Amino acid sequence: MPSPMMLRSAVWAGALLVVLALAPAPALAKTEIQFWHAMTGQLNDATNELVKQFNDSQSEYEVKPLRKGTYPETLTAAIAAYRQHQAPHIVQVFEVGTQTMLLSGAVNPVYQLMKEQEIAVEWKDFIAPVVGYYSKDGNLYSMPFNSSTPILYYNKDAFQKAGLDPSKPPQTWKQVEEYSKKVIASGASKCGFSTGWPSWTMVENMHAWHDQPFATKRNGFDGLDAQLLINKEFGVMHLTKLTEWQKGNIYSYGGRQGTADPKFVNGECAMYIQSSALIGGFTRGVKFAWGTGQLPFWGPPYTKATSIIGGATLWVMKGKPANENRGTAKFLKFLSEPTQQMWWHVTTGYLAISNTAVKNLEAGYHFKKFPDQYTAFAELTKGKATANSQGIRLGNFVQIRDVIEGEMENIFAGKKTPKQGLDDAVAKSNEILKEFAAANKQ
Amino acid sequence: MQRTVFRNRWLPYLLVFPQMAVTLVFFFWPAFKSLQLSLYRVSPFGDTMTFVGLDNFEKLLADPEYYRSVVNSFVFAGGVTVLAVGSSLLMAGLATQKIRGLTLYRTLLLWPYGIAPAVAGIIFLFIFHPTYGILPYFLSFVTSYEFNWLLKGWVAMTLVIVATAWTHLGYNIAFYVAGLLAIPGSVLEAADVDGAGPLRRFAAIVFPLVSPITFYLVTLNMVFAFFESFGVIDAVTKGGPGEATTIMVFKLYKDGFIGLNLGSSGAQSTILMALVIGLTMLQFRYAERKVTYR
């Protein structure tokens, strides 16, 4: 006679079998599309939500988003996976990795993918400075996903307290200096202004904004043998001013990436130059009244062009079966639609990349209600687009940015003069470019 | 020494096999790979590998930045080792006194060892960051000197040394407490009777008796500082300001994983490996002679 124990397990096993038999067989296995990205916090939630919208909109494909860490970590992970023939279908790569991806031979250019899949995309409708950054010979290679541009944030309460008009952000660097002094003198803040992403905001964008070349060969777009030009008159002048302004706290350096954010958020600095993508976070996290303005301008003899973008795009890895590529293409097409573009912009603060989406936002009075959301669009579209403002395309740009920021720190710390520091940055960067060109010789 | 005799010829090999397998797979294989990489120029996606001989090494040895990272490494490893070993001997000395709540103290002293370097880095960041740290805020009431390590290299270096030393503290203390407790009380009492003060007793008896432990810890802390301190640097300074805290292991990470220059990264890890092996051998050759084993 079986023991009660055995009897019980037999009953359980039977029950399990019944459950398994009754469980609905998966209708038709959906084709999975792997999507690796580097979005954190709120941006990660928004990305997941966007993917969910796509997955719910059709039944053939399922996009699986997976956060792989920081931008460099995500890229490194994708490369490692590619070498093991396990690459994801889509990988998010930051703008400085563009040249590396273009020359990798590991990607399926987006324009080609869409052509293969016969999916029509209105490329002409995309905002020029965004498309330009990621195009080669006029064809888009990766799908812009999260794009932003630096803008000026200012503390309206502090401006008020200092007797400045809180509805008027400074437009020139001269005004930035003057307003800073007033704000500090009145005790409204301890420092005038600070900056995030030092190389991106103060070197890369300042050169584009003032129509100055960042590198030879049309900022690297025309060939791998480009050399940096940031140690010329303009770059040295700007860095010299920033260095001088450290005295009296007109300018306060707050570190790389976004580590200076708290300086603005806690009211220490009255102005802050940082990515437009922070609007969302500041709306929730900043206690005082604040506004935005376009990047400050030095005035004549310089002429104003446009700012350049930052952020990341989605690259399609090659070597995947056709039916999976079809899913990838459909997902990218979905992302490019005005509806998704508008949702993404309103939710995250990143730029909507199609003119239709921007027009719709205008028609819906979105920019009337949230004028700060318009600042970035104005910077990118209202100025004169030139060869200097179309973006920067350099190999190993990640390292170059690192070199520039290291030298900026040496300059701000007084270890080197601005000219010396920038000369060293250029020499080191040119070495890096040479190395990249050698490694990518076709 | 007693020889262990195994009845089965194969048993000893079977017993050492797991350890050997782990060492081969996780040490020798990667070491061999990086040695191989160091002789090539590799495209980021690894599809083209060009043999370049010693080119990667030549470039490194001609690069003043690389020498700076070597100097930084020695300053860093030296600082960490002296601080971590010295202060843990002091604390272990205190933790072997006859005081109330001794076990509690000893337990607490071990805690830092349980904290991962990256997490330790984050903790230090929240305490010391010039923008949002709590300590600079309080310091600003006392002194007008700005300990802004985003710009001051020596402050940044001091900070990562202290942070790293702190993570090693628990481990070192555990060894020293055991060592100190093993010193026979009668020896110390005899010295006491002979009129030796605490300092004299420490110098003449305690220090020599724990010297094997000191030797072991110095070697280990140094190797740790050269290799495993990556987490703290990455979390706190990312090698900055300028290149002030870019130590060798951080530079090779930066060049390899961020710069995707795998050839140079391989060459750097080869040099680092040779350097640490060399230092360890030197220590065994010269320092160990001064060590008294019981």
Kindly tell me if the per-residue pLDDT of B43 is higher than 90.
Answer: no
Number of domains in chain A: 2
Q: Which residues contact A422 (CB under 8 A, 6 or more apart)?
A: A230, A231, A235, A236, A239, A407, A411
Instruction: Please name the member of A100, A407, A432 whose beta carbon is closest to the beta carbon of B44.
Output: A100
Name the residue of chain A whose CA is nearest to B256's CA.
A76
Looking at the fold, whether A212 and A354 belong to one and the same domain comes out as: no
Kindly tell me if the per-residue pLDDT of B152 is higher than 80.
Answer: yes
Q: d(Cα A66, Cα A266) in Å, to the nearest integer?
A: 33
Query: Can you read off the two tokens belonging to residue A412?
Result: 């701000």
Q: Classify residue B151: in a domain, yes or no.
A: yes
* DSSP calls for A126-168: B-HHHHHHTEETTEE-SEEEEEE-EEEEEEHHHHHHTT--TT-
Kindly tell me if the per-residue pLDDT of A4 is higher than 70.
Answer: no
- Domain of A242? 150-307+386-439
Q: Please tell me whether residue A228 adopts helix, strand or coil conformation.
A: strand
To probe the interface with B, which of A86, A259, A433 has the most B CB atoms within 10 Å? A259
Radius of gyration (C-alpha) of chain A in whole angstroms: 25
Place of tokens 């843990």: B88
Residue A409 forms contact with B (CB below 8 Å): yes
Task: Taking residues B41-50, report their average pLDDT.
Answer: 80
Has this prediction a pTM greater than 0.90?
A: no
Specify the higher pLDDT residue, A424 or A367.
Answer: A424
Looking at the fold, whether A197 and A56 belong to one and the same domain comes out as: no
Torsion over CA: A239, A240, A246, A250 (sign): negative
Looking at the fold, whether A302 and A325 belong to one and the same domain comes out as: no
Q: Classify residue B11: in a domain, yes or no.
A: no
Name the residue of chain B whose CA is nearest to A80's CA.
B45
Question: What per-residue confidence (pLDDT) applies to B271?
Answer: 94
Radius of gyration (C-alpha) of chain B in whole angstroms: 23
Question: What per-residue confidence (pLDDT) applies to A292?
Answer: 95
Kindly tell me if the per-residue pLDDT of A28 is higher than 80.
Answer: no
Looking at the fold, whether A420 and A348 belong to one and the same domain comes out as: no
Question: What per-residue confidence (pLDDT) applies to A199?
Answer: 95
Hey, which residues does A31 pair with through a beta bridge?
A61
**Quick count: other Cβ atoms within 10 Å of Cβ A25?**
6
Q: How many CA atoms lie within 13 A of B232 on its CB side?
A: 27
A119 by Cβ neighbours in 10 Å (0-12 / 13-18 / 19+) ranks as middle
Kindly tell me if the per-residue pLDDT of B294 is higher than 80.
Answer: no
Q: d(Cα B288, Cα B286) in Å, to the nearest integer?
A: 6
Name the residue of chain A whose CA is nearest to B150's CA.
A255
Kindly tell me if the per-residue pLDDT of A373 is higher than 70.
Answer: yes
Kindly tell me if the per-residue pLDDT of A66 is higher than 90.
Answer: yes
Looking at the fold, whether A86 and A132 belong to one and the same domain comes out as: yes
> Tell me, what's the ipTM?
0.76
Q: d(Cα B264, Cα B235) in Å, to the nearest integer?
A: 23
Residue A259 forms contact with B (CB below 8 Å): yes
* DSSP calls for A72-122: HHHHHHHHHHHHTT---SEEEEEGGGHHHHHTTS-B--HHHHHHHTT----
* Pair type for strands A269-275 and A191-195: parallel
**Among the residues of A291-337, which ranges form H helices?**
322-336
Q: Classify residue B2: in a domain, yes or no.
A: no
* Residues A372-390 as b or e (16 or more Cβ within 10 Å = b): bbbbbbbbbeebeebebbb
To probe the interface with B, which of A93, A197, A399 has the most B CB atoms within 10 Å? A399
Q: Which residues contact B25 (CB under 8 A, 6 or more apart)?
A: none
Q: Which residues contact B86 (CB under 8 A, 6 or more apart)?
A: none
Q: d(Cα A293, Cα A170) in Å, to the nearest integer?
A: 7
Q: Which residues contact B205 (CB under 8 A, 6 or more apart)?
A: B183, B187, B188, B191
Give the closest-approach CA distance of B237 to chain A in angstroms.
10
Question: What per-residue confidence (pLDDT) applies to A5?
Answer: 54
Size of interface A-B (CB pairs under 8 A): 88
Kindly tell me if the per-residue pLDDT of A8 is higher than 70.
Answer: no
Task: Taking residues A168-176, report their average pLDDT.
Answer: 95
Residue type, A410: N
Task: Taking residues A216-224, report their average pLDDT.
Answer: 92
A193 and A251 Cβ atoms separated by less than 8 Å: yes
Looking at the fold, whether A159 and A196 belong to one and the same domain comes out as: yes
Q: What is the pLDDT of residues B236-261, one digit of tens each?
A: 888 878 889 999 999 999 888 888 88
Q: What is the pLDDT of residues A261-297, one digit of tens each?
A: 999 999 999 999 999 988 888 888 899 999 999 999 9
Residue B42 forms contact with A (CB below 8 Å): yes
Q: d(Cα B210, Cα B217) in Å, to the nearest integer?
A: 11
Confidence band of A348 (pLDDT split at 50, 70, 90): confident
Q: d(Cα B288, Cα A265) in Å, to the nearest integer?
A: 56
Q: Classify residue B119: in a domain, yes or no.
A: yes
Looking at the fold, whether A143 and A207 belong to one and the same domain comes out as: no
Q: d(Cα A15, Cα A31) in Å, to the nearest integer?
A: 32
Looking at the fold, whether A264 and A291 belong to one and the same domain comes out as: yes
Instruction: Please name the member of A76, A104, A106 whose beta carbon is closest to the beta carbon of B257.
Output: A76
Instruction: Please name the member of A103, A409, A440 whose beta carbon is closest to the beta carbon of B240.
Output: A409
Q: Classify residue B238: in a domain, yes or no.
A: yes
Q: d(Cα B148, Cα A413) in Å, to the nearest integer?
A: 10
Question: What per-residue confidence (pLDDT) applies to A1?
Answer: 44
Task: Order the strands of the A90-94 sheet from edge to edge.
Answer: A61-67, A31-37, A90-94, A310-316, A143-148
Judged by CB atoms within 8 Å, which residues 216-245 of B form the interface with A? 238, 240-243
* Residues B75-104 as b or e (16 or more Cβ within 10 Å = b): bbbebbbebbbebbbebbbebbeeeeeeee
Number of domains in chain B: 1
Task: Taking residues A160-173, report their average pLDDT.
Answer: 94
Backbone dihedral angles phi then psi of residue A164, each to the nearest 5 degrees: -100, 155
Kindly tell me if the per-residue pLDDT of B3 is higher than 70.
Answer: no
B190 and B196 Cβ atoms separated by less than 8 Å: no
Task: Taking residues A198-212, report their average pLDDT.
Answer: 96
Q: d(Cα A377, Cα A358) in Å, to the nearest integer?
A: 9
Looking at the fold, whether A232 and A351 belong to one and the same domain comes out as: no
Task: Taking residues A112-132, report their average pLDDT.
Answer: 88
In chain A, % of residues over pLDDT 70? 93
* Pair type for strands A31-37 and B49-51: unpaired
Task: Test B42 with A439 for CB contact under 8 angstroms.
Answer: yes
Q: Can you list the positions of beta strands (E) in A268-411?
A: 269-275, 290-293, 310-316
B144 by Cβ neighbours in 10 Å (0-12 / 13-18 / 19+) ranks as exposed
Q: Classify residue A276: in a domain, yes or no.
A: yes
Looking at the fold, whether A158 and A123 belong to one and the same domain comes out as: no
Looking at the fold, whether A170 and A278 belong to one and the same domain comes out as: yes
**Domain harbouring A179, CATH code:** 3.40.190.10
Q: d(Cα B27, Cα B277) in Å, to the nearest integer?
A: 13
Q: What is the pLDDT of residues A312-325, one digit of tens each?
A: 999 999 989 999 99
Looking at the fold, whether A424 and A294 belong to one and the same domain comes out as: yes
Q: Please tell me whether residue B209 adopts helix, strand or coil conformation.
A: helix
Q: What is the pLDDT of residues B265-291, one digit of tens each?
A: 999 999 999 998 998 888 888 777 777
Kindly list the distances between the CA atom of residue B269 and the CA atoms of A276, B7, B39, B58, in Å, as whole numbers in the listed order.
40, 43, 12, 14
Task: Taking residues A307-311, report their average pLDDT.
Answer: 91
A30 by Cβ neighbours in 10 Å (0-12 / 13-18 / 19+) ranks as middle
B188 and B196 Cβ atoms separated by less than 8 Å: no
Question: What per-residue confidence (pLDDT) applies to A418?
Answer: 96
Q: Classify residue B50: in a domain, yes or no.
A: no
Q: d(Cα A357, Cα A369) in Å, to the nearest integer?
A: 16
Q: Classify residue A415: in a domain, yes or no.
A: yes
Chain A residues whose beta carbon lies within 8 Å of the beta carbon of residue B261: 396, 399, 435, 439
Q: Classify residue B240: in a domain, yes or no.
A: yes
Q: d(Cα B63, Cα B73) in Å, to the nearest integer?
A: 16
Q: Classify residue A165: in a domain, yes or no.
A: yes
Q: How many CA atoms lie within 13 A of B94 on its CB side?
A: 9
Task: Test B45 with A82 for CB contact under 8 angstroms.
Answer: yes
**Quick count: other Cβ atoms within 10 Å of Cβ A347?**
15
Hey, which residues does B49 pair with through a beta bridge?
B42
**Domain harbouring B151, CATH code:** 1.10.3720.10
Task: Order the strands of the A150-155 sheet from edge to edge.
Answer: A191-195, A269-275, A150-155, A290-293
Q: Residue B159: which H helix or E strand, with range?
A: helix B153-181
Instruction: Please name the member of B42, B242, B254 whose beta carbon is closest to the beta carbon of A415.
Output: B242
Q: Classify residue A376: in a domain, yes or no.
A: no
- Domain of B109? 55-290
Per-residue HEC secondary structure of B49-62 comes to: EEECCCHHHHHHHC
To probe the interface with B, which of A83, A104, A269 has the most B CB atoms within 10 Å? A104
